């Protein structure tokens, strides 16, 4: 039996203060909804977690539409050219003037999250930091709950009319809905690096090297993200700074005329490329948004964008349900969101095949190498292929 002070009631309880949870909570607060966000980490951790940087035009529009784009409009930068570099060829694609003719906006995820948090608190939202959601229940009732434990070890129960699972791919919400219908481990691991140095080029660089993929993504004037495909058995420590810069130099075809601007590696982690696709994003009154819905590889920079788009869809559905007693959009939520997720998965997989050489023990390796080269040739020369790439690269 719960004592009264240990039960906190809201209209919507949001699990997770990432882009999905914070956009959702901002939109709900804007219509006067009582909404509590539960976040297991500290505010400082959440505001400093560097992840995404490339925002699609559709996600930027969502943020602008809801008064959440002040920071990115002031400090973000437009990005519209990417470059493919191999040992024997280089080419640029001005994707901002191909396909649907739209650029990316580069704005580091931690800055966006910081802005979203500040705005949510300004709108009167509640965020409970260092509060871990440990269990959810009564999902098929009209009063589902989340059981939490805070940093002091206090266990409480948060109830709401709906729960929003925005707690990422490994969160407890994803485990409470029907399991993924399809799972794919791509067998590829990246060493993801943040380097304290200005970008080496204004462009995103994709190193398509027989030895493995390397990527260069501008983030800000003094921080650059690099990726290096590595052995799945590697640890971050198996890469000394010397080894990192040697591999980046080779795979990104850097030269004395186009050198890499070096600096200390300030963060390194391993990212295993995995995909998970679900048929349903809902169990009763628990609905998922963002990474909780789908594990997606960062190869096409879709995750944060899917999170923002899904948060807007979910906010609309919950507002219709709770303000107008209309459950149609809640019932249609999975069917509305899944096509977006599936297209992002398809293009991310297309990018994985383009960027990575086949595994050396793949019996089809020679064949795969020929296909990859032909695809790159086509991308370098065919306007139709370039339009397809550009439309999908910025689309969501």
The residue ranges that bind ligand RFL (CB under 6 A) are: 15-21, 38-41, 46, 51-54, 109, 132-133, 166-168, 171-172, 192, 271, 290-291, 298, 301-305, 307
- 79 labelled catalytic: yes
Q: Which is nearer to ligand RFL, 137 or 358 (CB)?
A: 137
Least distance CB 368 / ligand RFL (angstroms): 25
Q: Which is nearer to ligand RFL, 92 or 267 (CB)?
A: 267
Least distance CB 15 / ligand RFL (angstroms): 5
Selecting among 298, 337, 349, 356, the annotated active-site residue is 298
Least distance CB 167 / ligand RFL (angstroms): 4
Q: Which residues pair with 128 in a beta bridge?
A: 38
Selecting among 95, 206, 227, 337, the annotated active-site residue is 206
Q: How far is 151 from 41, CA to CA, in rounded Å?
A: 9
Q: Which is nearer to ligand RFL, 217 or 247 (CB)?
A: 217
- 206 labelled catalytic: yes
Q: Which residues pair with 13 in a beta bridge?
A: 36, 163
Q: Which is nearer to ligand RFL, 52 or 394 (CB)?
A: 52
Selecting among 158, 209, 216, 302, the annotated active-site residue is 302
Selecting among 19, 57, 79, 337, the annotated active-site residue is 79
Selecting among 226, 227, 337, 393, the annotated active-site residue is 393
Q: Which is nearer to ligand RFL, 20 or 352 (CB)?
A: 20
Least distance CB 327 / ligand RFL (angstroms): 24
Least distance CB 187 / ligand RFL (angstroms): 17
- Indicate which residues carry an active-site annotation: 79, 206, 298, 302, 393
């Amino acid at each position: 039996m719960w004592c009264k002070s240990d039960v906190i009631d809201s209209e919507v309880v949001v699990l997770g203060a990432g882009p999905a949870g914070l956009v959702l909570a901002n939109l709900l607060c804007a219509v006067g909804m009582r909404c509590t966000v539960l976040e297991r980490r500290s505010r400082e951790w959440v505001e400093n977690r560097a992840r995404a940087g490339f925002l699609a035009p559709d996600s930027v529009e969502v943020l602008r539409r809801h008064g959440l784009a002040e920071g990115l409009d002031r400090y973000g930068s437009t990005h519209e050219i990417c470059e493919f570099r191999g040992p024997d060829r280089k080419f640029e694609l001005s994707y901002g003037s191909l396909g649907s003719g739209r650029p990316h906006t580069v704005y580091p995820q931690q800055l966006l999250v910081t802005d979203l948090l500040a705005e949510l608190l300004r709108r009167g939202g509640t965020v409970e930091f260092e509060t871990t959601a440990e269990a959810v229940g009564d999902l098929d009732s009209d009063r589902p709950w989340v059981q939490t434990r805070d940093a002091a070890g206090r266990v409480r129960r948060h109830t709401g009319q709906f729960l929003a699972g925005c707690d990422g791919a490994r969160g407890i919400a994803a485990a409470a809905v029907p399991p993924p219908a399809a799972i794919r481990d791509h067998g590829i691991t990246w060493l993801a690096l943040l380097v304290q140095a200005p970008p080496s080029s204004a462009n995103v660089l994709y190193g398509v090297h027989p030895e493995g993929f390397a990527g260069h993504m501008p983030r800000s004037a003094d921080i650059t993200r690099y990726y290096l495909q590595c052995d799945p058995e590697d640890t971050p420590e198996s890469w000394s700074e010397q080894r990192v810069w040697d591999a980046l130099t080779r795979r990104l075809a850097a030269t004395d005329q186009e050198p890499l601007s070096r600096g200390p590696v300030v963060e390194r982690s391993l990212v295993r490329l995995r995909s998970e696709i679900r048929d349903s994003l809902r169990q009763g009154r628990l609905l998922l948004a963002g990474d909780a819905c789908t594990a997606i590889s960062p190869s096409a920079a879709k995750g944060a964008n899917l999170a923002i788009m899904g948060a807007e869809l979910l906010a609309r559905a919950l507002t219709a349900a709770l303000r107008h007693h209309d459950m149609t959009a809640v019932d249609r939520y999975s069917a509305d969101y899944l096509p977006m997720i599936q297209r992002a998965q398809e293009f991310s997989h297309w990018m994985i095949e383009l960027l990575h050489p086949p595994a050396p023990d793949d019996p089809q390796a020679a064949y795969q190498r020929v296909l990859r080269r032909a695809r790159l040739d086509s991308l370098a020369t065919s306007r139709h292929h370039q339009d397809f790439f550009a439309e999908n690269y910025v689309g969501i």
